[in-house]
Amino acid sequence: MKTSSDGRRLIEAFEGLFLKAYDDGEGVLTIGYGHTSAAGRPRVYPGQTITADRADSILSDDLVQVEMRVGKLIDVAMSQNEFDALVSFEFNTGDLGKSSIPAKIGAGRKDEAMTTLLQYVHGTNTGKVYVGLARRRRAEKMMFEGDLVTALKIAGVAEKSYDMQPKATAPPKPPPSSPTAKPQSVPASRPSIWAALSSLLASFLRRG
């Protein structure tokens, strides 16, 4: 499976786009959309800068590796939303394989799996609880459960960029049919003047 456009937007929104290398708060140099040296090339170094197009390309490469790991760890069929949520989680934490989430999903205990996912709100090196991570976990849970609208809203993705199918609109009503023309009454023909004269002449002769 591949990450959908909406799944990618979720990741981009939470990672943010940084064109210059920075410390992620845990002592890890990061650039682009959450790329670190641990994810593979390019190696991130102090003072490094990249373009937005390069950041997009690096994210695509990083996602390929993450998608492969998720596909191997989850041995049951997944919906697109479920897959996207787990890709986001693995991209951010790298801990999917170390957690009980795959086993719980495989056993059909998806609610328990999401309860476990929500616990991953601590910094890897400092153990500090991050509000941003808690928000991301909620969004991933919503996406996993199929509530894509809420997930993207939590991530701050503009609704106009959603990839969901547009709501069906009712077909336009046909124009009202033309009213049936009412038959016009045909006036009776008027008696001719010769018929009137003949009637008067006959009356006169009877009197005579």
Question: pLDDT by residue (tens digit) across 101-135?
Answer: 999 999 999 999 999 999 999 988 888 899 999 99
Q: For the domain 5-161, what is the CATH code?
A: 1.10.530.40
Say how many Å lie between the first and final Cα of the chain, rounded: 118
Question: pLDDT by residue (tens digit) across 21-78?
Answer: 999 888 999 999 999 999 999 999 999 999 999 999 999 999 999 999 999 999 999 9
- Whether 90 is catalytic is no
Judge whether residue 188 has pLDDT over 50. no
Average pLDDT, integer, range 91-97 = 95
Q: Which of the listed ranges 160-164, 168-172, 179-183, 204-208 does the model predict with the highest average pLDDT?
A: 160-164
Judge whether residue 13 has pLDDT over 90. yes
Q: Which of 12, 15, 67, 90 is catalytic?
A: 15
Give the least confident one: 108-117, 147-156, 197-206: 197-206
DSSP bridge partners of 207: none
| pLDDT, greater one: 116 or 194 | 116
Contacts of 36 (CB under 8 A, 6+ apart): 24, 28, 29, 30, 44
31: Cα within 13 Å, side-chain hemisphere = 23
| Class of residue 137 by CB neighbours under 10 A (exposed 0-12, middle 13-18, buried 19+) | buried
Contacts of 169 (CB under 8 A, 6+ apart): none
Tell me the pLDDT of the chain averaged across its residues.
Answer: 84
What percentage of the chain exceeds 90 in pLDDT? 70
**Every domain of the chain and the residues it spans:** 5-161
pLDDT of residue 127: 84
